[in-house]
Amino acid sequence: MSFPGLLNYWVALILLVCGLIIVMDSRNLVKKLVGLGIFQSAVFLVFITLGKKSDGSAPILDASVSVYSNPLPHVLILTAIVVGVATTAVGLALVARIRRAYGTIDEDEIDDRPEVEPEIVP
């Protein structure tokens, strides 16, 4: 049982670094949000891998099954995914608002441009 060993964690690690690079490097606000999503999903992958037992089954009790994977990480990540989409939506709403105020969603252009439609956020 040496393979895949730690492979899942290493892939999650690369995904996390990819997400980080996108968030740091990209000047497009929509792309930054996609990057945050990838960063987040790497964490999900680590948790779910931790819960896996070899030859295990999904944690739904049944008389014919004896080995179940760990349900605890599943609970944590299930709610995290839905909360993740809710927070992404807040981010997207901010992006839409920035577009209304500046006419662009590119950070470089935002730095150059004056506000086209000054608004007071209630």
Partner 1 sequence: MINVVADVGLLCLLLTVALAIVCTRSPLSLVLLSGIYSIALCTLFVILDAVDVAFTEAAVGAGISAILFFAVIRPEDEPVTAFSWPSSRAILLGLGVGVLLLAGTLDMPMYGDHLAPAHQHLALRFLGQSFEEIGIPNVVTSVLASYRGYDTLGEVVVIFTAGVAVLILQPDNKKGPAKPGDRDRFAPELMGNPVLKTVLLRMIPLVVLFGLYVQFHGDYGPGGGFQAGVILGAGVITYGLLSSATRLKRIISDKWVTLGMALGVLVYGLVGVAGLFLGANFLDYSVLGPTQTAGQHLGILLIELGVGLTVSCTMVSLYYCFKQGES
CB of 64 closer than 8 Å to CB of 49: no
Among 87, 107, 116, 118, binds partner 1 (CB under 8 A): 87
Write b or e for each residue in 65-77: b if 16 or more Cβ atoms lie within 10 A of its Cβ, otherwise e. Answer: eeeebeeebeeeb
Is position 16 an interface residue for partner 1 (rule: CB under 8 A)?
yes
Site for partner 1 in 29-68 (CB under 8 A): 30-31, 33-35, 37-38, 41, 44-45, 48-62, 67-68
Closer to partner 1 by Cβ: residue 5 or 114: 5
Q: Give the C-alpha separation, 12 to 119, whole Å.
A: 41
Is position 116 an interface residue for partner 1 (rule: CB under 8 A)?
no
Is position 3 an interface residue for partner 1 (rule: CB under 8 A)?
yes
